[in-house]
Chains A and B, each alone.
Chain A
Amino acid sequence: MAQYDFKKITVVPTGNDLIDIVLSRTQRQTPTVIHKGNAISRVRQFYMRKVKFTETNFTDKLSKTIEDFPRVEDIHPFYGDLLHVLYNKDHYKLALGQLNTARNLIKRIREDYVKLLKYGDSLYRCKSLKRAALGRMCTVTKRIGPSLAYLEHVRQHMARLPSINTGAPTILICGCPNVGKSSFLNKITRADVEVQPYAFTTKSLFVGHTDYKYLRYQVIDTPGLLDRPLEDRNIIEMCSVTALVNLHAAILFFLDLSGSCGYSISQQAALFHSIKMMFRNNPVLIVCNKTDLQTLEGLSGEDLKLVMEMKSAALKTIPVSTITDEGVMAVKNAACQRLLDQRSERKMKSKKMPTVLNRFHVAMPKPRDQKERPVCIPQAVLEARAEEAAHEERKTEKDIENENGGAGVYSASLRKHYILADDDWKLDILPEFLDGHNVYDFIDPDILQRVEELEREETAVEEDGGDFEMEDEDFTAEAEKDLQEIRKRKKLLIQKHRIKKSTAESRPTVPRKFDKDRKFTTERMGRQLSSLGIDPSRAIERARSRSVSRKGRKRERSVGGDGEDVMEIDGGLDNKKKLRGFKDSAQKMKAVTMARNATKKRNKDARRGEADRVIPTLRPKHLFSGKRSIGKTDRR
């Protein structure tokens, strides 16, 4: 009942490889260093270990191989026969036997040499013994080299055998070569077997699987059979024979009605009869293939008779055409059904059945009277069912969407199902902002009322007349005029002060008695006093009587004469005059600025010009006395 898996067999190394493997292992995994100075017991131990280790490895590897390979007697006869057919049972057994003997020999060698090593008296002696032991083991292994090679070959082939479950329900396809067996297999299963017009396209068994009534069936395709005695059959045919004989399966014997396989119906019938006894009690179906070329009815009388003869030995005959798929399913179903029935029968017949059957009991109520009592469904339910069936034509939103162009094009209107007081409002556009306010913040059912209140408030406040302002007495026109005068005077003062400040850098601070512009005159004083409203005559008189005569004053040069212009010969063109002595106006501007900057300091000191030099201290003390920290004092 088991599924055989020949892929799990470990790789069989060749003789030399095996030796290499074991010896390198020994070298790596045992201690390597020993000196003749060490104690003899240690030396003996060292070499004994090596011998034992080598023997163990050899034994392990050989045992593994022997155990992995299946024993022909122990496996299912189908596989046993198959192995025999393919690899020759005797050769196979012999090889395995050789391995076994080799194993035993190696064991013997080890025992002998370990005994000898126990009495080795020097390092050299022990070493030689070890060498001898290992050497003999290797020789043994070399001798079984061919067997190992053969076994490796067998292993590789076995791994590629189709995995046929001998316990599962199986359908076997057999017949003459080129009849249409492989194409039939391709039709009913997912197997992809090569189909070619030449005979013996299929050279080994092929397995496909198919389902029928929730059960998995194996379908095995076999190479074509020729009408020959068993002894003459070749290996390929023997494969199919093995399958026929050993497997419990529904057999489909394929018949080519047209004879396009190269064999006439009579030949095929002969084949059928010769392998009839292999069928035993397996259900057989005769499948008449290639009905597209030649139908069953169209057969000649002789052929028909032969077919009828075959039919008597079989259960059924089914016409099939694998090209047109006619009858293929019928065949499969028939075969599967037959197998299923057989299985059920067998189960029923088995001893266990009654114990199982006892557990089932279907209780049927005994009819009380002849009254008919059908199934009762309430009317409402029936109606509801009917309505639902009718309602299936409701148009969904999805349908509408698809109609109007699909998901990206149509956008469903969410407003359709709004519940509002008035349905016209569904399509209203709702404003969100107005004049910089959120409309939703103002929504209130009685907002108008409140606004009205507000307005009433406003008007009330207006009528009130606003705040009562305290009236201050306004100024009289005179007072107004005076105020303006005061402000004007103040402004003038400020202006004058500002001018003074801005020119302070270059204007000298000079006491009044040296006023050059002759600002401080008695007329001026008189004007100012009279503007204040005072009679100035007495003040003028007094001032005049005290003033110093102007006789002693120096004659001052007249300011800004026209001397230069008079000297001008041509009468002076404006441009020439302006740029006299200068290259261009920019240069003149620069010169003017330089001159002004130079005179600023002099003006500040109230000097009349460059020549007006006053040295306030002719001999300042700090320059004419004392020592110097830096420099000399011989030039004072």
Chain B
Amino acid sequence: MRLEFCWFCSSKIYPGHGIQFVRNDAKIFRFCRSKCHKNFKMKRNPRKVKWTKAYRRLHGKDMTKDSTFELERKRNRPERYDRNVMENTLKAIKKIDKIRHDRAADHIAQRWKPKAAKERREARKELEQSISLIKAPLAIQSQEPAITVPKIKVKAPKQQTVEDQLMEE
């Protein structure tokens, strides 16, 4: 018995689940549930369907290259059973799993980092631009509360026009 991976969403297929489709060229497609199977029949490309692992890996959302993946490899040559090796393997699997999990979490955290800086920049910009909603521009603000001065009528000398000036001459 083997745990296989769904061709569409790359999730694990446990025994007793899913459907296998064998094409005429003898390529086997395994699906974990009818959702993936139906998507396949619709000829959808898993690399374009957002929720699949294939998309996520392709678009860098999930970790792709790591040394932990090399430890898990399908071996075609059977090994002679050795209890010690088996024990070690079982312990190792747990450790490898933990390390892989941590690394994957790191990867995602890395992805989120630039967001903080971006937010700060945007906040700064907003502050600059929309400050006028709460504060009047400095020029008017700094004005003292004015004392009402009575209007004084002052006669202003008639200003000769240029024509008059010319005519005078």
Q: Which residues of A does B touch, CB under 8 Å? A: 418-422, 424-425, 428, 430-445, 447-448, 450-451, 454-455, 457-458, 467, 469-470, 472, 475, 479, 482-483, 485-487, 489-490, 529, 531-535, 537-538
Complex: A626 Cα to B145 Cα, angstroms: 69
**A464 CB → nearest B CB, Å:** 12
Are A447 and B72 touching (Cβ within 8 A)?
A: no
* A458 contact from B80, B99, B131, Cβ within 8 A: B99
Specify the chain B residue showing the minimal Cβ separation from A458.
B99
Complex: A455 Cα to B95 Cα, angstroms: 9
* B74 contact from A436, A441, A479, Cβ within 8 A: A441
Are B134 and A486 touching (Cβ within 8 A)?
A: yes
Are B71 and A434 touching (Cβ within 8 A)?
A: no
Q: CB-CB < 8 A to A486: which residues of B? A: 126-127, 130-131, 133-134
Are A441 and B131 touching (Cβ within 8 A)?
A: no
* Closest CB pairs A-B (n = 9): A532-B136, A535-B145, A451-B92, A489-B133, A447-B92, A485-B134, A534-B136, A486-B130, A448-B88
Are A441 and B75 touching (Cβ within 8 A)?
A: yes
Q: CB-CB < 8 A to A455: which residues of B? A: 95, 99
Q: CB-CB < 8 A to A469: which residues of B? A: 113
A436-B12, A437-B3 known; A470-B117 Cβ under 8 A: yes
Are A439 and B89 touching (Cβ within 8 A)?
A: yes
Specify the chain A residue showing the minimal Cβ separation from B121.
A472
Are B123 and A475 touching (Cβ within 8 A)?
A: yes
Q: CB-CB < 8 A to B99: which residues of A? A: 454-455, 458
A442-B92, A479-B127 known; A425-B83 Cβ under 8 A: yes
Q: Which residues of B does A touch, CB under 8 Å? A: 1-3, 12, 67-68, 71-75, 79-83, 85-86, 88-97, 99, 102, 110, 113, 117, 120, 123-124, 126-127, 130-131, 133-136, 140-141, 143, 145-146
**B159 CB → nearest A CB, Å:** 30
Are A489 and B134 touching (Cβ within 8 A)?
A: yes
Complex: A421 Cα to B140 Cα, angstroms: 95
Are B75 and A440 touching (Cβ within 8 A)?
A: yes
Specify the chain B residue showing the minimal Cβ separation from A418.
B81
A443-B75, A454-B67 known; A422-B83 Cβ under 8 A: yes
Are B133 and A490 touching (Cβ within 8 A)?
A: yes
**A540 CB → nearest B CB, Å:** 12
Specify the chain A residue showing the minimal Cβ separation from B133.
A489
A437-B72, A441-B72 known; A490-B130 Cβ under 8 A: yes
Q: CB-CB < 8 A to B120: which residues of A? A: 472
A430-B81, A432-B1 known; A448-B97 Cβ under 8 A: no
A-B contact pairs, 5 of them (CB 8 A): A438-B2, A441-B75, A458-B99, A479-B127, A537-B145
A437-B97, A482-B131 known; A447-B89 Cβ under 8 A: yes
**A311 CB → nearest B CB, Å:** 86
Complex: A438 Cα to B71 Cα, angstroms: 12
Are B81 and A425 touching (Cβ within 8 A)?
A: yes
Q: CB-CB < 8 A to A482: which residues of B? A: 127, 131, 134-135
Complex: A1 Cα to B162 Cα, angstroms: 173
Q: CB-CB < 8 A to B90: which residues of A? A: 431, 434, 439
Q: CB-CB < 8 A to A438: which residues of B? A: 2-3, 74
A428-B83, A450-B71, A483-B123 known; A442-B93 Cβ under 8 A: yes
Complex: A433 Cα to B74 Cα, angstroms: 14
Give the interface SS of chain B, mostly helix, strand, loop or mixed. helix
Complex: A200 Cα to B2 Cα, angstroms: 86
Complex: A418 Cα to B12 Cα, angstroms: 32
Are B135 and A533 touching (Cβ within 8 A)?
A: yes
Are A433 and B3 touching (Cβ within 8 A)?
A: yes
Complex: A489 Cα to B133 Cα, angstroms: 7
Are B127 and A483 touching (Cβ within 8 A)?
A: yes
**Max chain A Cβ within 10 angstroms of own Cβ: one of B68, B79, B123, B133:** B133
Are B117 and A442 touching (Cβ within 8 A)?
A: no
* A533 contact from B83, B94, B141, Cβ within 8 A: B141
Specify the chain B residue showing the minimal Cβ separation from A457.
B67
**A345 CB → nearest B CB, Å:** 77
A486-B133, A532-B136, A533-B136 known; A434-B127 Cβ under 8 A: no
* A443 contact from B86, B130, B136, B140, Cβ within 8 A: B86
Complex: A425 Cα to B73 Cα, angstroms: 25
Specify the chain A residue showing the minimal Cβ separation from B134.
A485
Complex: A486 Cα to B97 Cα, angstroms: 48
Q: CB-CB < 8 A to B97: which residues of A? A: 435, 437
Complex: A435 Cα to B94 Cα, angstroms: 8
* A472 contact from B74, B117, B131, Cβ within 8 A: B117
* B93 contact from A437, A450, A458, A467, Cβ within 8 A: A437
Complex: A421 Cα to B82 Cα, angstroms: 7
**B90 CB → nearest A CB, Å:** 6
Complex: A27 Cα to B41 Cα, angstroms: 78
Are B83 and A532 touching (Cβ within 8 A)?
A: no
Q: CB-CB < 8 A to B130: which residues of A? A: 486, 489-490
* A483 contact from B68, B81, B126, B143, Cβ within 8 A: B126
Q: CB-CB < 8 A to A490: which residues of B? A: 130, 133
Are B94 and A448 touching (Cβ within 8 A)?
A: no
Q: CB-CB < 8 A to B75: which residues of A? A: 440-441, 443
**B118 CB → nearest A CB, Å:** 10
Complex: A442 Cα to B90 Cα, angstroms: 9
**B95 CB → nearest A CB, Å:** 5
Q: CB-CB < 8 A to A433: which residues of B? A: 1, 3
Specify the chain A residue showing the minimal Cβ separation from B82.
A421
| Besides the known contacts A432-B1, A438-B3, A443-B86, 13 further A-B residue pairs in the complex with CB atoms under 8 A apart | A422-B83, A433-B3, A438-B74, A442-B71, A448-B88, A450-B92, A451-B95, A457-B67, A467-B113, A482-B131, A486-B130, A487-B126, A534-B140
Complex: A434 Cα to B93 Cα, angstroms: 8
Complex: A483 Cα to B93 Cα, angstroms: 51
**A257 CB → nearest B CB, Å:** 83
Q: CB-CB < 8 A to B145: which residues of A? A: 535, 537
Q: CB-CB < 8 A to B71: which residues of A? A: 442, 444, 447, 450-451, 454
Complex: A454 Cα to B2 Cα, angstroms: 26
Specify the chain B residue showing the minimal Cβ separation from A493.
B133
Complex: A309 Cα to B165 Cα, angstroms: 204
Q: CB-CB < 8 A to B86: which residues of A? A: 428, 430-431, 439, 443
Q: CB-CB < 8 A to B82: which residues of A? A: 420-421, 425, 445
Specify the chain B residue showing the minimal Cβ separation from A424.
B83
